Structure 1
Amino acid sequence: MLDLNGNPTTSYDAVQQMWSGSDEQSLYNNELTIGQIIFKQLQREPQRLFQISHTEKTRLSRTQMLHDAAKVCSYLRLQGLNASSIVGLIGRNTTHLAAVAYGCMFNGTPFHAVNPNTEAHTIQSLYSITKPRIICCDGQDYVRLKDIAVALKAQIVTLSGHIAGVTSVEQLLQTPLSENFEPTRLERGSESIMAILCSSGTTGTPKAVTLSNSRLIFEQHSYLTANDVQYAPSTLDWLTGLITLITAGVYGTQRVISTEPFSCAHFLELCEQYSISWAIVAASYIAMLANYGGTNGRPLRSLRHLLFAGGHTLVTTLQKMQTHLQGQGVLRNAYGLTELGSIASCNYTTHSKPNSVGRLCGGICMRIVSDAGKFLGPKEVGELYCRNGQLWAGYYGNEKATAEMQDKQGWFHTGDVGYFDEDNYLYIVERKKDMLKYMNMMYYPHEIEEVIAQMPDVSEVCVFGLWNEIEGDAAAASVVRKKGSSLRSSDVEQFVRQHVTVKYKQLNGGTLMVDQLAKSANGKVNRQAVKKHYLEATKTK
């Protein structure tokens, strides 16, 4: 539910010390899976364009997507796969990836999506838990996945770059389709497992995160219509990629896909060529676009909803980005976690509350909890506990980690530190594990990043702690300077000294100029990888 200004509504219960998004009634029967819902929706306006592949130059109508997905489902049935089976998905955004995912949904068979750039030993570790019967991948990844498939006795199906003697997705699409085809009905309906994604892995080995057929994953975007054109650079192993795929199926939008990695030039090209109206990208991509010389109002004039998530974004960056968009309310900061299976909050007012991740989405409840387990009130900082009222099957095959993530009352312990202001807007201070201590004084990396980002010659910055047993975490920074700049490390350190009065928040660990910051597959700055590069580079000096 939105208020008169178009913002999500959030209420605070002072007795329970709990914030809640609007309580909205779902329009769909809980006995239905998302696959069943998409099956019905794709039958509407069957000849309407559904998907455009910019890279492969293909176009699919709704009826084509419906038939392709039904044929994939029929193939899975012929192979004896059901709701107890798993299909592995390691694919880029190619033409038939959506049909494979929808086909799994039609059959009630969960798919376990892993990023194509994941190391082979991590894939092996993940799939040794879920044990997929079929692994769908691009031909370029076949060699490094072959041994994994053999060990699991799994069949490989190529999605692109087909290899002689290996089953291709085109062969699946030749499966006969019965005239009375219907998706599989599951006894648990919306509570059954729909997909398995991976945790970010920034604090350890990724875990297999189960996602149910909960309506929240698409109903939070009910503002979408058949006239919208959607784009997300992320693949199905990220929640943002899955959200885009599902909302396209439910609301009948037109989706644009590309196998090219994100770049400012490519994003602007897609926006202008296809009149993209809705896009969701990593927070770091907003920084790239804001500082890109080619960004201007013309290629972005079609955007009505530009969501970003997955990291901290500087106020100066948001202000720059806002100048390239057509009015206020287009740029929106979304916060969520894979385990929740949906966005938890969204800020429609980044122009007036740029540091906030917004108000809670419908169906979401949240508490702020101290280290001692005490519930806190407005403007008090603590760990975010989040609940969506939906059944979570946990981390696949990992009961211990599941119990650590979600308590018996259903609250997810997010590991994020934050607070709510007097207007019920949520602010993320930092990841709890990113809290640093120098000479017994606590601080957060982003506080120093905000200062450095004020320097005109700075494009991107990442701050991290260098630990020693006497002082603790000394702040160090890796800085990307703007093209043509002669900015030096000493300039950055001096600037921080001039603008930060306390010694424990200064760059006591030093500064390194770098060409780029290491990022994870979804574009989020990987603080640990940046730190590792810093240590390796400074060791040789």
Structure 2
Amino acid sequence: MLDLNANPTTSYNAELKIWSGAREQSYYNDDLTIGQIIFRQLQSDPHRIFQISHGENTRLTRSQMLRNAAKVSMYLRAQGYLEETDIVGLLARNSTHLAALAYGCLFNGTPFHAINPSLEAHTIRHLFDITKPRLICCDAPDYEKLRTIASALGIPILIIHGRIAGVMNIQELLEASISDDYKPPQFERGIDRIMAILCSSGTTGTPKAVTISNSRQIFESHSYLNSNDIQYAPSTLDWLTGLITLVTAGVYGTVRLISQKAFCAEQFLSMCEKESISWAVVAASHIAMLANSPATDVRQLRSLRHLLFAGGHTLVATLNKMQSYLRGEGILRNAYGMTELGTCVSCNYTTHTKPKSVGRLLGNIRMRVVNESTVSVGPNELGELYCHNGQHWSGYYGNSLATAEMQDKEGWFHTGDLGYFDQDNYLHIVERKKDMLKYLGMMYYPHEIEEVIAQMPQVAEVCVFGIWNETEGDAAAASVVPKPDAQINAAQVVNFVGQRIGVKYKQLNGGAQIVPQLAKSANGKVNRQAVKAAYLETAQRTELTD
């Protein structure tokens, strides 16, 4: 397997115009599921600490995690969870027994559909309507949000953290007895079976259920990990990075460090110092928070050997500042991936020399750069990135049309990202081809907010765009054209959106402006980039005159 203590290698075929990562052979039989692999790993060194929950002050050994997961698996089996269509819904934060629930699903070959707790109720309902889980698992604070959804689906709720009177609790499962000869079930071509279902969005912004297979690529690109590593990721299991951390901890037997709280620079520094974190994967915005925190100190981060970040752009000055807090080069790494591929695609070990790149391709990954004429182009030429991982993908659950749009008949994923490879075979991401934006780690689409603003009777036209900063991401801002003789101001627009959108990341965190017209292209289509440029220019003039 690929040793990521060395910089990944990437080759280029000039005739085919295809870049390729190193060819790697898996150690594992294709009939094994990842659950079976983890089951075997957890049997070794049973008294060794496997998971530490920061804040809950709980510690579980490998033996305890194994037995808890096996009990969840036995419960599912007793309830008749035998097929890939027997799905467990999951909406939870990182608490003590979340991993046991997830591993139990993996042991049994039962896919779990993980959804972020911050999503709006109607979006959660839409996603669960797609997969139709037989059970929804959540934390006590989210019970009321899910009760109506579960009732409509005619399914029970299981509480993972906290308690609700009269509602099934995971403790009831963990108190059950277990036979000493328990083993996960066997499957033919377990590698192709659906392991988990995460959430993504397409060009229309409609959420989709992304299937993740038992492909070895989700963990084999991290084969440098071992039982002496202490892993941490703030992501919950609905994010690919959260799933990668869950799987790699189980496969390589690392210590899994979790926290229910959202990422905070001070908390991360404290955990690094107290628990000696050696491997962490965070968002690009978290790097900015760490680099700019007055509390950050070299001594607190001395245990880190691998600090990966993904999911956005980071300023070169910020990377240089973050690098100064680390004990050597090659620790700070920029990773690029996509949920549909179920893995990291590339990783940059040289952020100190190529700070604007996302690195070279990982093992068994191939990539093409395709221009607007759908012709593959060579080095230093911009185009949409097509990616091929050579693995089976079951597509978007219940959505064959969207699946065909994402992956063509030859198996190439059309990523929607614009980028290029330089002369050293390093990948550079320029921008999203799609309009998707991300704020505070959550994805949204401008048109969702535009549709809300358009409900105002005074509004004639509206254009929403993102104003990026490295700490928070793309803050939504709006330029609004009022109807003739209508009276409206920016504060009214901001308040209107705030009253009708219940989640912070979709509100007008970048503000609003009232303008006489929107910039448009020759065909009459609103030019979002030109509108944004005018907005920023006006904002700058206002700051200078204040």
TM-score, scaled to structure 1? 0.82
Aligned: 1:64 with 2:64: yes
* Counterpart position of 1:307: 308
Conserved 8 A contact 1:137-1:159:
yes
- Cross-structure match for 1:152: 153
Match of 1:479 in 2: none
Q: Where in structure 2 are the equivalents of 1:70-469 lying within 5 Å? A: 70-84=70-84, 85-199=86-200, 204-434=205-435, 462=474
- Aligned equivalent of 2:443: none
- Matched residues in 2 for 1:56 and 1:391: separation? 39
User: In structure 2, what is the Cα distance between the partners aligned to 1:505 and 1:167?
Assistant: 52
Instruction: Decide whether aligned partners of structure 1 residues 316 and 465 sit closer, same or farther in structure 2, where only a CA change above 3 A counts.
Output: same
Checking the alignment, whether the CA contact within 8 Å between 2:479 and 2:531 is kept in structure 1 is no
CA 1:202–1:463: 2 relative to 1, 3 Å: farther
| CA pair 512-82 structure 1, distance change in 2 beyond 3 A | farther
Cα distance in 2 for partners of 1:240, 1:9 equals 23
Q: Is the Cα contact below 8 Å between 1:74 and 1:175 reproduced in 2?
A: no
Letter in 1 for 2:536: G
CA distance in 2, matches of 1:377, 1:467: 39
* Partner Cα separation in structure 1 for residue 168 and residue 356 of structure 2: 49
SS at match of 2:231: strand
Is the CA contact 1:83–1:110 (under 8 Å) kept in the aligned structure 2?
no
* SS across alignment from 2:207: coil
Equivalence for 2:534: 508
User: 1:118 offset after TM fit, Å?
Assistant: 1.1
Which whole-Å deviations, capped at 9, do the CAs of 1:436-463 have from their partners, x for residues lacking one? 9xxxxxxxx99x97xxx8xxxx977758
Determine the structure 2 residue equivalent to 1:10.
10
Could you report, residue by residue, the CA deviation over 1:388-440 in whole angstroms, capped at 9, with x for unpaired residues?
0001000000111111111000000000000001111000001013599xxxx
For residue 319 of structure 1, report the CA deviation from its aligned partner.
0.9
Report the TM-score, using the length of structure 2 for normalisation: 0.81
Q: Which amino acid aligns with 2:354?
A: K
Following superposition, the deviation at residue 116 of structure 1 comes to 0.9
1:534 equivalent in structure 2: none
Range with bigger deviation, 286-295 or 224-233: 286-295
Aligned pair in 2 of structure 1 residues 468, 368: CA closer, same or farther (>3 Å)? farther
Q: How much does 1:304 deviate?
A: 0.5
**What is the aligned partner in structure 2 of residue 35 from structure 1?**
35
The residue identity in structure 1 corresponding to 2:129 is S
> How far, CA to CA, are the matches of 1:198 and 1:28 in structure 2?
28
CA distance, structure 2, for counterparts of residue 278 and residue 4 of structure 1: 13
Change (3 A) 1:4 1:194: closer
1:56 to 1:3, Cα distance in 2 relative to 1, 3 A:
closer
Q: Give the letter aligned to residue 57 of structure 1.
A: N
> Which one-letter code corresponds to 2:355 in the other structure?
P
Displacement after TM superposition at 1:507 (Å)? 4.0
Cα distance in structure 1, aligned partners of 2:167 and 2:58 = 23
Partner SS for 2:424: coil
Shift of the 466–94 alpha-carbon distance from structure 1 to 2, 3 Å rule, reads closer
- From the superposition, tell whether residues 460 and 71 of structure 1 become closer, same or farther in structure 2 (CA, over 3 Å): closer
CA deviation vs aligned residue, 1:37-71 (integer Å, no higher than 9, x gap): 00000011111100001121110000100000000
Partner amino acid for 1:234? S
Query: Structure 1: how far apart are the matches of 2:2 and 2:38?
Result: 25
Q: How far does the alpha carbon of each residue in 1:233-279 deviate from its partner, in whole angstroms, 9 at most, with x for none?
A: 00000000000000000000001101011111111111111000000
Q: Percent same amino acid among aligned pairs?
A: 64
CA drift of 1:372 comes to 0.8
Could you tell which deviates more after superposition, 286-295 or 216-225? 286-295
Is contact 2:286-2:471 (8 Å) kept? no
- In structure 1, the partner of 2:506 is none
| Compared CA separation, residues 372 and 136, structure 1 to 2 (3 A) | same
1:291–1:459: 8 Å Cα contact kept in structure 2? no
DSSP-derived class of the 1:248 partner:
helix
Distance 1:204 1:94 in 2: 30
Amino acid at match of 1:509: Y
CA contact (8 A) 1:3 1:9 kept: no
Provide, for residues 65-124 of structure 1, a one-character-per-residue CA deviation record: whole Å limited to 9, x for no partner.
000000000011111112330001111000000000000011101000001111111110
1:270-314 deviations in Å (ceiling 9; x for gaps):
111100000000111111111111111011111110000011111
CA distance in 2, matches of 1:342, 1:47: 31
Change (3 A) 1:58 1:262: same
What CA deviation, in whole Å up to 9, does each residue of 1:176-221 have, x standing for no partner? 2122111011223100000000015796122100000000000000
Query: Using the alignment, how far apart are the partners of 1:267 and 1:513 within structure 2?
Result: 35
How far off is 1:227 after superposition?
Answer: 0.4
Determine the C-alpha separation between the residues in 2 that align with 1:314 and 1:114: 30
Distance 1:140 1:513 in 2: 40
Q: CA deviation at 1:7?
A: 0.4
Q: Partners in 1 of 2:535 and 2:40 — Cα distance?
A: 58
For the residues of structure 2 that align with 1:131 and 1:82, how far apart are their CA atoms?
15
Q: How many residue pairs align between the two structures?
A: 468
Aligned Cα root-mean-square deviation (Å): 2.7
Give the drift of 1:464: 8.0
Equivalent position amino acid for 1:267 in 2: F
Contact preservation (8 Å) 2:2, 2:24 = no
Unaligned runs of 5+ in 2: 438-464, 482-528
Give, in whole Å, the separation in 2 of the partners of 1:23 and 1:169.
42
Are the equivalent residues in 1 in contact too, given 2:386–2:413 (CA < 8 A)? yes
Q: 1:158·1:166 contact (CA, 8 Å) conserved in 2?
A: yes
Preserved contact between residue 104 and residue 110 of structure 1 (Cα < 8 Å): yes
Q: 1:175: how far off?
A: 2.5
Unpaired runs of 5+ in structure 1?
A: 437-444, 470-502, 515-537
C-alpha distance in 1 between matches for 2:188 and 2:4:
40
Q: What is the distance in 2 between the residues matched to 1:40 and 1:462?
A: 43
User: Does structure 2 conserve the Cα–Cα contact (< 8 Å) formed by 1:83 and 1:107?
Assistant: no
Residue 496 of structure 1: aligned partner: none
- 1:498 is aligned to none
CA drift of 1:316 comes to 1.2
